[in-house]
């Protein structure tokens, strides 16, 4: 239920595991559901807000302005998060060849306001910051993408490492969002 797997021993050649997972589906229905659940008493929301809304003072004012611009007109929290995800995927370029920000610049501010180039960690960090800037509790997540092949098995290696963002919706819980553009 929490999306994590821990083993009590080192992985050994020939190991195999079976998982069943819910796959996020119809975003229109999910948006309607999160709207309907907003305001429902939710002890988890208070914890998420306490731990996943803070931003460092180094985040530049332009990031807050960009977040407001991206989410203007979005109806509901889910629509705001989806707008942020879509903006990042459409306006920033995926690359492993990145310039590091100047020492006096915040990493995410530099990515969003200047370079707009990076890999999954950049996109996940930027989405978490943009969500927090508009009041959506968000957290950065690292893990692996397991894509089953034609045989129905997913062979997961270090090359499948990935980062994404989870956003908490009051009365509903954590929902994953992947802002990294699809690689061709």
Q: Among residues 52, 92, 131, 178, which one is catalytic?
A: 178
Q: Give yes or no: 151 in active site.
A: no
Residue 162 is among the residues annotated as catalytic for this protein: yes
Identify the active-site residue in 77, 92, 106, 120: 120
Tell me how far apart the alpha carbons of residues 86 and 156 are, in angstroms, rounded to a whole number: 27
Maximum CA extent, the chain: 52
140 neighbors 165 (Cβ within 8 angstroms): yes
- 92: annotated active-site residue: no
60 within 8 A of 113, measured Cβ to Cβ: yes
Instruction: Provide the CA 78 distance to its chain's centre, in angstroms.
Output: 13
Number of H helices, E strands in the chain: 6, 5
Dihedrals φ, ψ of 10, to 5°?
-70, 145
Q: Which residues are catalytic?
A: 120, 162, 178
């Amino acid at each position: 239920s929490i999306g994590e797997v821990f083993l009590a021993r080192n992985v050994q050649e020939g190991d195999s595991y079976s998982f069943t997972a819910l796959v996020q589906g119809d975003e229109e229905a999910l948006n309607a559901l999160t709207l309907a659940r907003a305001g429902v008493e939710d002890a988890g929301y208070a914890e998420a807000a306490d731990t996943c809304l803070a931003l460092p003072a180094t985040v530049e004012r332009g990031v807050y302005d960009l977040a407001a611009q991206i989410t203007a007109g979005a109806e509901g929290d889910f629509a705001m998060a989806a707008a942020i995800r879509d903006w990042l995927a459409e306006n920033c370029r995926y690359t492993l060849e990145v310039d590091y920000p100047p020492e006096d610049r915040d990493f995410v501010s530099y990515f969003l306001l200047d370079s707009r180039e990076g890999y999954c960690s950049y996109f996940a960090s930027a989405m978490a910051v943009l969500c927090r800037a508009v009041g959506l509790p968000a957290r950065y997540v690292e893990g692996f993408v397991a894509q089953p092949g034609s045989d129905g098995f997913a062979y997961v290696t270090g090359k499948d490492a990935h980062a994404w963002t989870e956003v908490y919706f009051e009365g509903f819980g954590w929902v994953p969002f992947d802002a990294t553009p699809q690689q061709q």
